Structure 1
Amino acid sequence: MTYRKLLAAALLAATPLAALHAAPPAYITAAVADTTRPADDVALDAERKPAEMLAFAGVKPGMTVVDIVPGGGYFTRLFADVVGPNGKVVDYVPDEMINGSKDPAKALDRLTSLAKIKPNIMPVHDKLLDPAPPAQSDVAWTSQNYHDLHNIPGADLVGFNKQIFINLKPGGVYIVLDHAAAAGSGLRDTNTLHRIDPAVVKQEVTAAGFVFVGESKVLANPADDHTLKVFDPTLRHRTDQFIYKFRKPK
């Protein structure tokens, strides 16, 4: 056994079991328990494990969180509760995704309506590579939509990730949660199965200057063989998902 393995084993042995499975902070459990959350959101909690996700991301009161392509606002509501009145949630959707949707007016209304949830939510839409304000945010987050950014014609995801890098404060984190595609498949399945090879995400994000600092396996599903579309009724809400954490160096 190497010195590094011996040291790791010693540290593990010295760590109380409770510390390895610490409960999420009270401000996270309170957000998940918020009785004003829509019933449809609550029904997804068993599959999406929001308390574990928020704790992994390190979202805290007073932070600014950028929710990239927030969809219906499942995580937006949780972020807004956690960061509280002294924090802010920026819901961002690229103009290319809004204008390329079947009903752009409806897509824009869906985004702007999220501001009605809480006063600390700010919807933003602009071009994918528009310059980002520097050092404004603590956490950037995208859930089940990184692959869709690749479906924008001509999208430069390394360039987009560089804009996120600019916007984050030194030490800020970038979380990418998405449906896993087969290893080695690259971008083949982003528009067909709505999946992405995790290795592509890691390469693109680190190429923008981020450091990969860890992953969570809490949404992994070994029974998913990565061959079905994520909307397939036999698999929906139970896909094999990866959650990567990247950090902007201080």
Structure 2
Amino acid sequence: MQHLSMIGLGAALMLLPAQAAQAQVPTHIAAAVADAGRPGVDVYRDDRRKPAETVAFAGVRPGQTIAEMIPGTGYYTRILSKAVGPKGRIYTLPFSEPRAPASRALAADPAYGNITLAAGTPLNLGIAEKVDMVWTSQNYHDIRAGRAQLNKAVFDALKPGGTYLVIDHSAVAGADEGVLLSLHRIDEAVVKREVLAAGFVLEAESQLLRNPADARKTQVFDREANRNTDQFVLKFRKPAAP
């Protein structure tokens, strides 16, 4: 009987790391990821994109105001909308008309009534209020020119102490601008240098989306690389007012 009890204790101890990992995701974020309104194609990508852990790392809380730049088809827009809740607000910033239809549809969807389509540009986010967070996922590299002005616009749009969350596909160290065009990747060191130059501080970085097996030399849309790229997750902070 004592032997069986020890086995039971050992099994319980083996479960603790997994339980601890789950405990790090707040319930409001877990519920946002479990939202039944999310498209099946988005849910299919969750195993690689780890949205619950990523949103928890960013520190998204109910009631916050978040501006999401270049949101694509809205993978994170829906999650962020539910995570901030009815007292929060999401500004979606597609930056160009060809990218806007998905954002326009979400802004008109009553299931996501806290989403506003903003007619911003990389030089002027076009948001009337200061926000708690600016979020961009897998798209920083799409800003071909004017990233210094973009980062200044983000800095100006944030409240003191606000967060700038940048996720992107990693390029090899020293990769030049041609890699942005051909592979849709960017050197993490370049992102850090450019964002810090705008006045931000680097608060934290996550290993959640790292993939050491990715040689970082193929286009992100390549069949072998797709969904398995090495990605960095950087959390910058606008310094609080003195």
Q: TM-score, with normalisation over the residues of structure 2?
A: 0.86
> Which string of whole-angstrom CA distances, capped at 9 and with x for unpartnered residues, describes residues 201-221 of structure 1?
001101111001111011000
Letter in 2 for 1:43: Y
1:241 aligns to 2:231 (yes or no): yes
- Kindly report structure 1 stretches of 4+ aligned residues shifted beyond 3 Å: 16-22, 131-135
Relative to structure 1, is the Cα distance of residues 18 and 158 closer, same or farther in structure 2, using a 3 angstrom cutoff?
same
Q: Which of 110, 119, 124 matches 2:113?
A: 119
Whole-angstrom distance in 1 between the partners of 2:79 and 2:207: 21
Q: Give % identity.
A: 46
Residue aligning to 1:205: 195
1:70 aligns to 2:71 (yes or no): yes
Whole-angstrom distance in 2 between the partners of 1:73 and 1:53: 16
Whole-angstrom distance in 2 between the partners of 1:222 and 1:131: 35
Residue aligning to 1:175: 165
Relative to structure 1, is the Cα distance of residues 146 and 213 closer, same or farther in structure 2, using a 3 angstrom cutoff?
same
Whole-angstrom distance in 2 between the partners of 1:49 and 1:170: 28
Q: Which of 199, 205, 215 matches 2:205?
A: 215
* Greater alpha carbon shift after TM alignment, 76-85 vs 118-127: 118-127
Letter in 2 for 1:128: P
Aligned length: 222
Uncovered stretches (5+) of structure 2, i.e. residues with no partner = 1-15
After TM superposition, give the deviation of residue 20 of structure 1 in Å: 7.5
1:231 aligns to 2:225 (yes or no): no
SS in 2 for 1:142: strand
> Which string of whole-angstrom CA distances, capped at 9 and with x for unpartnered residues, describes residues 153-177 of structure 1?
xx21111111111111111110110
SS in 2 for 1:52: helix
1:110 aligns to 2:111 (yes or no): no
* Greater alpha carbon shift after TM alignment, 79-88 vs 19-28: 19-28
Q: Is the contact made by 2:119 and 2:126 (CA closer than 8 Å) also made in structure 1?
A: no
RMSD: 2.0
Higher relative helix content = 2
1:149 aligns to 2:143 (yes or no): yes
After TM superposition, give the deviation of residue 28 of structure 1 in Å: 0.6
Letter in 2 for 1:55: A
SS in 1 for 2:166: strand
Counterparts of 1:42-53 in structure 2, within 5 Å, are 42-53=43-54
Uncovered stretches (5+) of structure 1, i.e. residues with no partner = 1-15, 99-103
SS in 2 for 1:80: helix
After TM superposition, give the deviation of residue 23 of structure 1 in Å: 2.3
Q: TM-score, with normalisation over the residues of structure 1?
A: 0.83
Whole-angstrom distance in 2 between the partners of 1:24 and 1:234: 30
Whole-angstrom distance in 2 between the partners of 1:38 and 1:225: 31
Computing the radius of gyration from Cα coordinates, the structure with the larger value is 2
> Which string of whole-angstrom CA distances, capped at 9 and with x for unpartnered residues, describes residues 64-89 of structure 1?
01111000001000000011110000
Letter in 2 for 1:215: E
Whole-angstrom distance in 2 between the partners of 1:44 and 1:18: 21
Whole-angstrom distance in 2 between the partners of 1:55 and 1:172: 15
